[in-house]
Amino acid sequence: MDDGRNDGMDLGHPMHPFDVETLTAGRWRNGGGATREVAVRPADTGGDDFGWRASIADIDADGPFSAFPGVDRTLTLLAGDGVRLTCPGVFDQRLTGVGEPFAFSGDLSLAAELPGGPCRVLNIMVRRGRWEARVKGVHGPVAPPSGHAGLLYVRHGRWQAGAGGRVLEPGQGVWWDGGGGGAAPGEAAIVPLSPEAAALWADISPVG
């Protein structure tokens, strides 16, 4: 649907906006949560045969996490009191800091526990050997590098995707493919509009 607005066609990076609350939630088979898919590339791949994938998950109950062989994952807590991830003999990690990413191998089968009740996380998955992902918190302008894919999720404040583009509120964001050029020197594709602005930026870069 084209509403006539510039949603961030900025210097070769088409920005695709999203709002978490309008994304379709698919319940997990074990009933322990739901996933809202933001983007998957290539778009025509079925099942788990993706290059990279970004989603937001609501974890409602303790239970297992599925393994994704050949995939590297990064989880970042968005809301809630945290989640404890355990893999016997490998790690025992509790995600308690909102906005702090945790990277691990998707080859591992994990168990998730919710000491403080349900929580929401950002889930970035990349096919090992084809893509790499780095997730970090940002407060200033973001200019996607040339050839990189990625996502920006607004945590606080207001942001603008591209010059004259869509204004984003908390719980909203944009994602982009890896084609096209980067931002011109001195220009940023996504800029904060308020002093308290905070976002998560997932920079997804091709390997090689």
What is 20-128's CATH superfamily?
A: Jelly Rolls (2.60.120.10)
Q: What is the pLDDT of residues 138-174, one digit of tens each?
A: 999 999 998 999 999 999 999 999 877 899 999 999 9
Question: Quick one: pLDDT at residue 49?
Answer: 82
Q: What is the pLDDT of residues 82-95, one digit of tens each?
A: 999 999 999 999 99
Q: Establish whether domains 20-128 and 132-206 are of one fold.
A: yes
Quick check: 68 pLDDT over 70?
A: yes
Q: How far apart are CA 140 and CA 145, in angstroms?
A: 15
Domain residue ranges in the chain:
20-128, 132-206
Confidence band, pLDDT 50/70/90 cuts, at residue 46: low
Mean pLDDT of 7-12: 40
Residue 155 token pair: 């945590």
CA 125 to chain CA centroid, Å, is 9
Confidence band of 188 (pLDDT split at 50, 70, 90): low
> What does DSSP say about strands 71-79 and 25-27: parallel, antiparallel, or unpaired?
unpaired
Pairwise CA distance, residues 131 & 133, whole Å:
7
Is the per-residue pLDDT at 21 higher than 80?
A: yes
44 to each of 26, 41, 57, 69, 124, how far by Cα in Å? 19, 8, 22, 20, 18
Mean pLDDT of the chain, nearest integer: 88
The dihedral built from the CA positions of residue 192, 194, 195 and 201, taken in this order, carries a sign that is: negative
Residue % of the chain over a pLDDT of 90: 73
Q: Which CATH architecture has domain 132-206?
A: Sandwich (2.60)
Q: How confident is the model at residue 52 (pLDDT cuts 50, 70, 90)?
A: very high
| The pLDDT of residue 47 | 59
